[in-house]
Structure 1
Amino acid sequence: MSSAPPPGIYVPQVIFFTDDEDLDIPPIQEHILRLANGGVTGILVQGSNGEAQHLSHKERKQAIQLTRKTLDKNGFQNVLVIAGTGAQSTRETKKLCVDARDAGASHVLVLTPSTWPPQMSIDNIIRFHREVADASPIPVMIYNFPVVTAGQDLDSDTLAVLAEHPNIVGTKLSCGNIGKLHRLTSRFPSSEFAVFAGRTDLLLQGLLSGSAGTIAALVNILPKLHSKLYKLYEEGNIKEAMELQGKMGHADWAVGRIGGIGGIKAIISKNFGYGETFVRGPLKAVDPEKLEDHKHYSVLEELIALEKSL
C-alpha cells in the first residue's frame, strides 16, 4: 500500500512571475526557503494558489523541479513536495502525475474535472479518480475544492469509497466542512488516508477532530505561526492554541477579502522584501502600496509582526 503524507503544516505556495509573465526564479527560491525555515512539513506546488491552470506542462514540471532542488540544496531534504496535477481530461491528468514523479514530487493532488459538470455523476467522478490512481506512479490525494470545480463538492461517502483504493492516500478539504472531515478521520487512520483541512480557519478544529493538519493558503504569509499553533496542539495547550486560532481565522478571512492570490503576493512583497505582484490573467494584481487602505489589512499587520518575532 502507498504511504500517506505525514501529519503537519503544508503550504500551497504562490509562484512569482516577472513583468513578462515568465517564472521569476530568485523570489520563488527565496519563498521556498522562508517556508522551509518556517517549519512546514511539505510544499504543495501548483495547488490553486500556484496558478496551475495558467502554466504550461513545461512550466509545471520546472516549478516542481525547482522546489525540490532548492530544498535539497539547502538541507531541507525532509520537506515533502506534493504536486497539483489536476486537468480536464483523464489522459492529461495521468501525464501530469508522471511528470510530477519525474520532477521530484512524492505525492500528487488531483482536482475533479469541471468542464462538463452535468456529466460528472458520482460514478463518473469515482471512475476518474480511480483511473488516475491506477496510472499514477506516486500516491494520489483527492483535492475537494468546489469553488474551482464548478461547484462539485465530494461528500464523505464518495471520498470514503475512493479512500479504499490502494494508491489514494488522502484528501485536501477546501470545502470547509468540519463534519465531513470528522466522518473521514473517524473511519480511516491518517497513516492510511490523511485528511487535511484546506483552510487555516479550520486548522485547530480539524486537529481536534483527527485531521492530519492543514494545507492552507495563509501559510504562505505566516508559516511560523502555523507551526506554532500545531506545536501548541501537540503539547496539549489547547487554550493558548484556541486564542491563536481565533486570530488566524480572522487573518484567513482578511486575505480572501484583500484579493486572494494577488493579495498574498502583495502582502509578501510588502512585508518580506521579495517577489513582484504579477499574476496571470484573468486574476488581478494587488498594489502593495494600497494595502494599508484596506479595512482588513490591520488584522494581518499584527500577525505579521508576531511572525517576524519568532
Structure 2
Amino acid sequence: MSKPPPSGIYVPAVLFFDENEEFDVPAIKAHVLRLAKGGVTGILVQGSNGEAQHLSHDERKLAIRITRQTLDENGFQNTAVIAGTGAQSTRETKKLCADAKEAGATHTLVLTPSTWPHQMTNEAIIRFHTEVANASPIPTMIYNFPTVTAGLNLDSDIIGILAEHPNIVGTKLSCGDIGKLHRLTSSVSPEKFATFPGTSAVYLQGLLTGSAGLIGALPNIAPKAHYRVYELYKEGKLEEAMKLQGVLGHADAAVSKLGGISAIKVIISKEFGYGKPVARGPLQTLSADALQSGPHLDKVKELLAIEKSLPEYGTAK
C-alpha cells in the first residue's frame, strides 16, 4: 500500500524567471537550498505559488529535475519533492503524474478540474481522482483550493471516500477549514492518509487537531520560523508556539494583500539576495518600490526579523 509523505513542513516554492520569463536556474537553485537549510521536510514543485498553469509540460519536468538535483547535490537527499499535477482533463493529469515520477517526484498533488464547475458533481469529482490515482505511478494527494477551482470546495465526506483508495495518501486543504481538517484526522488513519492545512494562518491550530504539518506559501519567506513552531509544538511549549503562530498568521494575510506570488518574490529578492520579482503574465510583476512601507509590510518585517535571528535547522545527510 502507498504511503503518505512524512509529516512536517512543505513549501510550494515560487519559481524564478529572468526578464524574458525564462527559468532563472541559479535563483531557483538558491531558493531550493535556502528552504532545505531552513528545515523544510519537502518542496512542492508546481503548487499554485509555482505558477504551474503558466508552464509547458517540458518546463514542469525541468523544474522538478532542478529541484531534485539541487537537493541531492547538496546532501539533502532526504528532503522530499512533491509535484503538482492538476490539469483540466483526466488524460493530461495522468500524463503529468507519469512525468512527475520520471523527473524525480515521490508524490503528486492533484487539483480538481474546474473549467466546467457545474458539471463537476460529487460523482464526477470522485471518478476523476480515482481514475488519476489508478493510473499514477506514484501516490497522489487531493488539492482542495476553492479560490483557484471556480469555487469547487470538496467536503470531508468526498475526501474521506477518496482516502480509502490505496494510492490516494493525503490532502492539502487550502480552504483553511479547521473543522474539515479535524473531521479527516479523526476518521482516517494518519499512517494511511496525511491531512495538511494549506495556509500558515491555521498551521499550529492544525497540528493541535492532528494534521501532518503544513503545505503553505509563507515558508518561502520564513522556513525557519515555521520549523520553530513545529519544534515548540513537539516540545509541548504551546504558549510560546502560539505567540509565534500569531506572527505567522498576520504575515500570511499581509503577503496576500501585498500581492501574493509577486510580493513573495519581491521580498525574497530584497531580503535574501537572489532572484528577480518576475511573474509570468497575466500575473503582475511588482517592483521593489511597490513594497516600501505600510502596515501590511510591517507584519512581514516582524516575521523577517524573527526568521533572521533563528539558526539553520536543515542538515545535509
Same fold (TM over 0.5): yes
For each residue in 1:56-112, what CA deviation from the matched residue of structure 2 results, as whole angstroms up to 9, or x when unmatched? 000000000000000000000000000000000000000000000000000000000
Rounded to whole Å, the distance in 1 between the matches of 2:278 and 2:49 is 13
Partner of 1:181: 181
Partner of 1:297: 297
Rounded to whole Å, the distance in 1 between the matches of 2:193 and 2:252 is 26
Rounded to whole Å, the distance in 2 between the matches of 1:9 and 1:2 is 20
Unaligned 5+ segments in structure 2 are: 311-317
CA contact (8 A) 1:292 1:298 kept: no
**TM (normalized to structure 1)?**
0.99
Partner of 1:206: 206
* Cα shift at 1:290: 2.8
Tell me whether 1:249 sits opposite 2:211 in the alignment: no
In structure 1, the residue corresponding to 2:226 is in which secondary structure? helix
* Cα shift at 1:284: 0.9
* Cα shift at 1:295: 2.9
Rounded to whole Å, the distance in 1 between the matches of 2:261 and 2:140 is 25
Question: What is the correspondence of 1:40-119 to structure 2 with a 5 Å cutoff?
Answer: 40-119=40-119
| Alignment-mate amino acid for residue 178 of structure 1 | I
Rounded to whole Å, the distance in 2 between the matches of 1:136 and 1:269 is 36
Q: For the aligned residues, what is the CA RMSD?
A: 0.6
Partner of 1:157: 157
Partner of 1:13: 13
* Cα shift at 1:181: 0.1
For each residue in 1:116-175, what CA deviation from the matched residue of structure 2 results, as whole angstroms up to 9, or x when unmatched? 111100000000000000000000000000000000000000000000000000000000
CA contact (8 A) 1:44 1:82 kept: yes
CA contact (8 A) 2:247 2:302 kept: no
Rounded to whole Å, the distance in 2 between the matches of 1:239 and 1:117 is 43
Partner of 2:143: 143
* Cα shift at 1:47: 0.3
Partner of 2:120: 120
In structure 2, the residue corresponding to 1:10 is in which secondary structure? strand
| Percent identity of paired positions between Structure 1 and Structure 2 | 66
More displaced 10-residue stretch of structure 1: 297-306 or 156-165: 297-306
* Cα shift at 1:287: 1.4
Rounded to whole Å, the distance in 1 between the matches of 2:200 and 2:25 is 27
Rounded to whole Å, the distance in 1 between the matches of 2:2 and 2:256 is 35
Rounded to whole Å, the distance in 2 between the matches of 1:177 and 1:301 is 27
Rounded to whole Å, the distance in 1 between the matches of 2:146 and 2:131 is 21
Rounded to whole Å, the distance in 2 between the matches of 1:159 and 1:290 is 40
Rounded to whole Å, the distance in 1 between the matches of 2:302 and 2:248 is 11
Aligned length: 310
Rounded to whole Å, the distance in 2 between the matches of 1:103 and 1:290 is 37
Partner of 2:315: none
| Alignment-mate amino acid for residue 174 of structure 1 | S
CA contact (8 A) 1:6 1:191 kept: no
* Cα shift at 1:294: 3.5
**TM (normalized to structure 2)?**
0.97
In structure 1, the residue corresponding to 2:292 is in which secondary structure? helix
Rounded to whole Å, the distance in 2 between the matches of 1:112 and 1:294 is 37
In structure 2, the residue corresponding to 1:134 is in which secondary structure? helix
CA contact (8 A) 1:258 1:294 kept: no
| Alignment-mate amino acid for residue 219 of structure 2 | V
Rounded to whole Å, the distance in 1 between the matches of 2:295 and 2:194 is 37
Rounded to whole Å, the distance in 2 between the matches of 1:221 and 1:69 is 22
Unaligned 5+ segments in structure 1 are: none
Partner of 1:231: 231
In structure 2, the residue corresponding to 1:123 is in which secondary structure? helix
CA contact (8 A) 2:18 2:276 kept: yes
In structure 2, the residue corresponding to 1:70 is in which secondary structure? helix
| Alignment-mate amino acid for residue 18 of structure 1 | D
In structure 2, the residue corresponding to 1:296 is in which secondary structure? helix
CA contact (8 A) 2:64 2:100 kept: yes
Rounded to whole Å, the distance in 2 between the matches of 1:207 and 1:259 is 28
Rounded to whole Å, the distance in 2 between the matches of 1:71 and 1:16 is 17
* Cα shift at 1:305: 1.6
Spell out structure 1 runs of 4+ moving beyond 4 A.
Answer: none
Rounded to whole Å, the distance in 1 between the matches of 2:290 and 2:53 is 28
In structure 2, the residue corresponding to 1:305 is in which secondary structure? helix
Rounded to whole Å, the distance in 1 between the matches of 2:81 and 2:298 is 32
